[in-house]
Structure 1
Amino acid sequence: MTADDLVLTPRGLRFQGRTYPCTIGKGGCTGHKREGDGATPRGVHGIVGMLYRPDRIARPAAWAKPIHPGDLWSDDPRHEEYNMMVRAPYPHSHERLRRADPLYDLVILTDWNWPYAVKGRGSAIFLHQFRRPGYPTEGCIALRRDHLLSLAPRIGYKTRLIVP
């Protein structure tokens, strides 16, 4: 582990000497992730992308990509684009990236089950804003908005998310 790793601890997400309160999946942490189990997968996960809402926040890092209307994430394990960003119209099961609420104003993408997804092993694990303290996710790691915004410019492709 290095100081530039994001490390999940019982007290929160540790990064560069500071611990940020966070929430994890409603199913806790697991070594056997499955689509829909609500669990956060254990392991060492690379950071592979950053998405943001340009109509709501400034670009958080030079390598961040904007979320446009019609951007979706496929969570249909029966489809070949499972666990990939797709565009509307998309008739298969998916999640909207451009949400009415602020949860996905900034999304940090991990390499969980990506780019070569094993069907049913679970779709995207993101770092994103939480609804409120203590409110669990569907498997992602969620942080307070100001904490997420402060982390974003300091992480890069060499940063890893470690979930023991």
Structure 2
Amino acid sequence: MVDRLIVETAAGVLHWGKQSTPCAIGKGGAKPAADKREGDGATPLGTYPLRWVYYRPDRVPPPATDLPIRGLCRRDGWCDDPAHPAYNRPILLPCDASAESLWREDGLYDLIVVLGHNDAPATPGLGSAIYLHCCKYDDTGAMKPTLGCIAVPRATLAEILKTCTPQTVIEIRE
């Protein structure tokens, strides 16, 4: 088991235990969490708990992990509206505020680790929906940047989850 996942944003590498993998970060680069803003596409630097794992039950089995696990359903979403009381929290769709659907056709959210960024409590506008999730590739085979999350190949994420416990944190650094 590992107590810390380390993301080196400048190198685009995620380390766990003695292993490492390339990873994608936000298209807006990385910035200190205090400077993170909703919609800026930046990955927040800092150390965060791993809250729980979502998985898409029609595509992948429940991951082997000691983290809490929740199967997604078609109505699962995440509120990204800073003016709404449910900002940066899971919601059911449809919702009367801006929200992202977690049930995606592109496979990015087949496995999602919810990171404890801006959630205790959430400060409106300082960023929402920061996850460790599956990556997407461009036409050249390179990983596409995210909207602020960390992304790795799905099979690699499943391997990383095997080593995580509720005490594991993710450290995102330059």
The CA deviation at 1:91 is 2.1
* More divergent stretch after superposition (2-11 vs 154-163): 2-11
Q: Is the 8 A contact 2:12 2:25 kept in 1?
A: no
How is 1:31-110 mapped onto 2 (pairs within 5 angstroms)?
31=32, 32-60=35-63, 61=65, 63-110=68-115
Identity %: 38
Superposition CA RMSD, Å? 1.4
Q: What is the TM-score with the length of structure 2 in the denominator?
A: 0.89
Instruction: For 1:33 and 1:17, locate their aligned partners in 2 and report how far apart those are by CA, in whole Å.
Output: 30
Aligned partner of 2:31 in structure 1 is 30
Q: Any idea what the Cα deviations from partners look like across 1:125-145, whole Å, max 9, x if unmatched?
A: 100011113310000000011
C-alpha deviation, 1:115, in angstroms: 3.5
Q: Which runs of 5+ in 2 are unaligned?
A: none
Q: Which runs of 5+ in 1 are unaligned?
A: none
Aligned match of 2:136: 131
Mapped partners of 1:109, 1:64: distance in 2: 10
Q: Deviations over 1:40-59 (max 9, x none)?
A: 00111111111001111110
SS of corresponding position for 1:135:
coil
Correspondence for 2:158: 149
Q: C-alpha displacement at 1:120, in angstroms? A: 0.2
Runs of 4+ residues over 3 Å off in structure 1: none
| Offset at residue 3 of structure 1 (A) | 4.7
Query: Which residue matches 2:6?
Result: 7
Tell me, in whole angstroms, the C-alpha distance in 2 between the residues paired with 1:101 and 1:115. 30
